Structure 1
């Protein structure tokens, strides 16, 4: 398997160990607001000030943390593995890139990006965005975070399905298995012939789709798994 294609899905669990709140954390930023108010197009239309405040807080939190052992292990895997390594992340932070990973698909967008809701122009987001910020391309006062909200289609899905069908090994790290379409990735890759591995704090909702299970914190389970892959 020295030249195997590895496709790796990462979720909020991998970044939680760096100090970022997950969607289900009782005391985190998500717990303070209803999803419908801060992570949907309708919520943004109702109260753009609240949505910008929410994502400004998330952007600041992400800027204040560093990659952990799991992020660094995956970056090492990409550097040293002789085959292709593709990371598909549900996370909107840049911790994979900060650790050194180059081929990262942000299926839910990124806190570092801004998007014009009028003309779809994209540009680097400042640390704080505000209601009525003008688009650099069309000047419309409709700037929003370039993140995928509930009810919107994740980015690069055609490329993602292709990567899954080409994978020799598919791994899901720090994911709950509750959010689609990502929850279907293991089954899709497995049907195409990939060996499927779950590395999660505990069994996910779709644990039955995995041939191999490694449960525990990502910072504990991912580095030895990477060592095993590189030593095969």
Structure 2
């Protein structure tokens, strides 16, 4: 089925990265539950909340600092290198698609990227190593060197608006592909999870590779419940 597609859209979730050692949100006793992201409005309003958000951020970073792209990431990268998949839409924030060899324009990040920080005022990009050094030396949440604004991990927090340009690109890809390949997503987090359904409604084939059932299994053209790294390279 995939080999017959003219234009393939990729869509990935946490499951493609758990095989790299990155914890997901829904596993029992997930470290994300012990270090829950601070809601965006609270982060903005309270300096103590910003301090706690950065503490939790660095705890989580330390848990998977050695993560490397999985066989699933490499399979997606190979499909993009072949020219049949222009980009992958991802719910992940770990940067492992880029680490697999993809350029930034080939990765549509719906929930941002946790490998760097950005000023909420002037949008200046900040290296996390410098941010962490500043935080650990002073104990204070970082501020922007350029404008003095609030600096935040470049992820999309709960309550924060979805990024307009990635959303536009994801919609365009979903509407132009003739097959969308969902890998490692539970397809329950919206609005991101709406793109596979949109592609299907527009006439594209829907292929889902995930360890657990998803809400879209019933309308998919092919569903594979298995370990991603074991089946995706052969499927592609």
Sort the TM-score into its range (normalised by shorter chain).
Answer: 0.7 to 0.9
Partner of 2:41: 42
- Aligned partner of 2:161 among 153, 164, 168: 153
**Match of residue 213, structure 2, among 184, 203, 214:** 203
1:125 counterpart residue number: 128
Q: 1:215 aligns with which of 222, 225, 232?
A: 225
- Answer yes or no: is 1:108 the counterpart of 2:111: yes
- Write the distance in 2 (CA, Å) between the matches of 1:137 and 1:183: 36
Q: 1:19 offset after TM fit, Å? A: 0.9
> Match for residue 27 of structure 2?
25
Deviation at 1:75, TM superposition (A): 1.2
Is the CA contact (8 Å cut-off) linking 1:25 and 1:31 kept in structure 2?
no
1:98 maps to 2:99: yes
Query: Take 1:62 and 1:4, find their aligned partners in 2: how far apart are those partners?
Result: 36
Q: Does residue 88 of structure 1 match 2:98?
A: no
Secondary structure of the structure 1 residue equivalent to 2:206? strand
Flag the 1:43–1:218 CA change in 2: closer, same or farther, 3 A.
farther
- Structure 1, unmatched stretches of 5+, are 227-232
Residue 134 of structure 1 and its aligned partner are, at CA, apart by 2.4
| Alignment correspondent of 2:196 | 186
1:5 shift after superposition: 1.4
1: distance between equivalents of 2:83 and 2:193? 28
Deviations 1:149-206 (A, max 9, x none): 1122332111110111011110111111110012211210012221111110021123
Counterparts of 1:149 and 1:224, CA distance in 2: 35
Unaligned runs of 5+ in 2: none
Normalized against structure 2, the TM-score is what?
0.85
- Length-normalised TM-score, structure 1: 0.87
Residues 186 and 209 in structure 1, CA contact (< 8 A), matched pair in contact too: no
Deviation at 1:15, TM superposition (A): 0.4
Distance 1:14 1:187 in 2: 20
1:39 offset after TM fit, Å? Answer: 3.6
Between 7-16 and 100-109, the greater mean CA deviation after superposition: 100-109
Alpha-carbon distance between aligned partners in 1 of 2:85 and 2:216, rounded to the nearest angstrom: 26
Distance, in Å, in 1 between the alignment partners of 2:11 and 2:83 is: 19
Residue 127 of structure 1: CA displacement?
A: 6.9
Check conservation: 1:88, 1:105, Cα contact below 8 A. yes
C-alpha separation in 2, matches of 1:105 and 1:124: 21
What's the offset of the Cα at 1:122?
A: 2.8
Secondary structure of the equivalent of 1:111? strand
The match for 2:61 is 59
State the superposition RMSD in angstroms. 2.0
Match of 1:229 in 2: none
